Amino acid sequence: MTTYITTPIYYVNAMPHLGHAYTTIVADTYSRFRRLCGDDVRFQTGTDEHGEKIVQAAEEQGCSPREYVDRISAAFQKTWPLLDVAPDNFIRTTNAEHIQVVQEILQKVHDQGDIYFSEYSGHYCKGCERFLTEKELVDGKCPDHLTVPEEISEQNYFFRMSRYQDQLIDHIKKNPEYITPERYRNEVLSFLSEPLEDLCISRPTTRLTWGIPLPFDEKFVTYVWFDALINYLTGIGYPDGPDFEKYWSVAEHVIAKDILKPHAIYWPTMILAMGLTPYKRLHVHGYWNVEETKMSKSIGNVIKPGELVQEYGVDTVRYFLLREMSFGLDSSFSGEAIVTRRNSDLANDLGNLFSRTLTMIGKYVAGRVPEVDEKVVTDEDRTLIGSMEGMLASYQRSMNNFAFHRGLQAVWEVIGELNRYIVTNAPWELAADPAKKKRLDTVLYFLAESLRLIALVLRPVMPQAAEKMAVALGLEESMAGATLATAGRWGILEPGTGVAKGPQLFPRLDTGKQQQPKKKAASRKIEQPTADMEGLITFDQFGKVDLRVAEIIAAEKIKKADKLVKLTLKAPEERTVVAGIAKFYRPEELVGKKVIIVANLKPVKLMGVTSQGMVLAAKDTDEQGRERLVLSTVEGDITPGSKVA
């Protein structure tokens, strides 16, 4: 099969940040996953370099647009290798070939009567670089940029988007997977239930010169979206390159919800006007906030991918982003959240399983993969094979549907099962009794073979850790060309293969402010099941957390932060706590509840409100992947301020 996966091409008016990194890691992971399925894959990203925003940013930096776009585009190109992101093509809209193709397309669409000249007046938002409809304004302002749009009246060229509206509706209805997750498909269909306005696709050169000149009227340049979307074609050699033939019909685009309209409406209608087949799928994800607050330059909470990698390592960053965000929903980034995932999922669950298994193979069976003796295979072993096969199936289904969090959840379920398998089979006891040698060999084979499969499925997500695992399992060469079809089944690991001493994949990170990897993790005696102390805390440590009952006496939503509620609590003194629960509770239902809070957290300022503590709550997702949250409350007659222990 063939796969063509793209990211948006990013505006060069800002340096790469967490949001760009997430989308690009998603596309990279999918490209690696499809390669693992044996596909011929093309993965493209790039930069969007025309338009007013860019001119403005260049002016602010005191340089020419050309110098400016070269500099920022280079910063994007340098960022991707740091994240182990390996695109096959990096496209820039200032490339001569791209410019030429955009002009050819404009001419064709113009010649067939789908572009016309007309007078237009409307509300122009500079931030969005487009005219907003009356309906889109909130209190007369652009809801995204919170600025009052300029009233502009000018003559421009328009693309007859309305002509393709019915065809587009029909296509979306006939292809349920065209836009996913479903909520975004519904959003698009609902937008399309009203008549579409035609799209203004030019800017007069009196207002903007940094753009692609219209081939049929040099007094105008092309509207940046009409130029940018075409990158998905120029990057594969449209109209007559061999890669275009090969990849266009399977094009899949990944974007965030902010640019749904250009991708789900402008782009498919443009494609229809060009006489091409629609792209295959559009995958839309939610937004990353930072500690429940919108990421923005002015708040100063922009997360830089390079710094993240330096602090946590590339595999941890990739795993965290893919595991933490339910694809389609918003998610919140925090240092604590990434350290928690690293220490519990990576260091404890996977890292310990791996190093324990390899150390036991080294110690008990001279570092060679032992042989299974069918006579001692138990029901538990057979169940384990079933679980591994179930994991492989659910992993593949989830990865294909962009439910990366679910795919990883399936992998971590078997990791948990394997850790329990070690405890129930206690290889250290089997090793102590020569009569149990065959059982010991069988148990160790089951562990090693399971780890081989785990390394295989983790390759798209954590390329470096997966490689280390494969090398340690003696699989280096056979893994290189392995696919899920050739290697994704039970029983491939050859007895006799030499395995290395278990490398430490993920040293634990300090949970304090300095989240640097510890130089050396505490040495453990793997023979003792009780010695597996990593991830546990002592009574003393637990005693430092001051958990208290607090009564909510007032609650109000925080303006401009759709997730946050300001709670006034009695515990027993009055205090303010900001909680990210606005989507799950209305303020009036909160008053009177007795919740559990962490009372001795350092105060933090969130959206201008000082939060003195944290309210405990449990979170999960329902069958449709929607987030759910329930506050931890206490029942019965208890005085606010009482200690919880």
What whole-number distance in Å separates Cα of residue 226 and Cα of residue 102? Answer: 8
- Say which of 110, 123, 128, 405 is annotated catalytic: 128
Is 35:463 a contact under the CB 8 Å cutoff? no
Give the number of residues written for the chain: 645
H helices present in 426-483, as ranges: 427-431, 437-458, 463-472, 476-480
Please identify which residue in the block is written with the tokens 């997977």: 177
Q: Which amino acid is at 82?
A: L
Residue number, 45 or 442, with CB nearest to ligand MSP: 45
Which of 535, 483, 492, 493 has the alpha carbon at shortest distance from 511? 535
For residue 42, the minimal CB distance to ligand MSP (Å) is: 16
Tokens linked to 265: 């409406």
Residue number, 192 or 303, with CB nearest to ligand MSP: 303
- Say which of 108, 141, 294, 437 is annotated catalytic: 294
For residue 35, the minimal CB distance to ligand MSP (Å) is: 22
- Say which of 98, 110, 123, 142 is annotated catalytic: 142
What whole-number distance in Å separates Cα of residue 297 and Cα of residue 295? Answer: 7
- Say which of 37, 125, 253, 285 is annotated catalytic: 125
- Residue 582 CB neighbour total at 10 angstroms: 19
Which of 424, 423, 413 has the alpha carbon at shortest distance from 530? 423
The question of whether 50 is a catalytic residue gets the answer no
Is 305:80 a contact under the CB 8 Å cutoff? no
- Output the residue with the shortest Cβ distance to ligand MSP: 19
Residue number, 17 or 508, with CB nearest to ligand MSP: 17
Which of 11, 40, 43 has the alpha carbon at shortest distance from 24? 43
For residue 556, the minimal CB distance to ligand MSP (Å) is: 26
Tokens linked to 601: 């957290």
Residue number, 257 or 363, with CB nearest to ligand MSP: 257
Which of 235, 239, 201, 199 has the alpha carbon at shortest distance from 220? 201
Q: Are strands 293-294 and 331-333 parallel, antiparallel or unpaired?
A: unpaired
For residue 449, the minimal CB distance to ligand MSP (Å) is: 38
Residue number, 70 or 258, with CB nearest to ligand MSP: 258
Is 369:361 a contact under the CB 8 Å cutoff? yes
For residue 632, the minimal CB distance to ligand MSP (Å) is: 29
For residue 541, the minimal CB distance to ligand MSP (Å) is: 34
Binding site for ligand MSP (CB under 6 A): 8-11, 19-20, 22-23, 48, 228-229, 231, 255-256, 258-259, 287-288, 295
Q: What is the DSSP letter of 498?
A: B
Is 301:291 a contact under the CB 8 Å cutoff? yes
Is 247:4 a contact under the CB 8 Å cutoff? yes
Residue number, 129 or 349, with CB nearest to ligand MSP: 129
| Cα dihedral 402, 407, 409, 412 in deg (nearest 10) | -150
What whole-number distance in Å separates Cα of residue 342 and Cα of residue 360? Answer: 24
- Residue 337 CB neighbour total at 10 angstroms: 14
Residue number, 45 or 450, with CB nearest to ligand MSP: 45
For residue 425, the minimal CB distance to ligand MSP (Å) is: 44
| Cα dihedral 124, 125, 126, 128 in deg (nearest 10) | -120
The question of whether 128 is a catalytic residue gets the answer yes
For residue 253, the minimal CB distance to ligand MSP (Å) is: 8
The question of whether 438 is a catalytic residue gets the answer no
What whole-number distance in Å separates Cα of residue 399 and Cα of residue 21? Answer: 18
What whole-number distance in Å separates Cα of residue 311 and Cα of residue 333? Answer: 14
For residue 306, the minimal CB distance to ligand MSP (Å) is: 16
Residue number, 257 or 438, with CB nearest to ligand MSP: 257
The question of whether 145 is a catalytic residue gets the answer yes
Residue number, 563 or 566, with CB nearest to ligand MSP: 563
Residues catalogued as catalytic: 17, 20, 125, 128, 142, 145, 294, 297
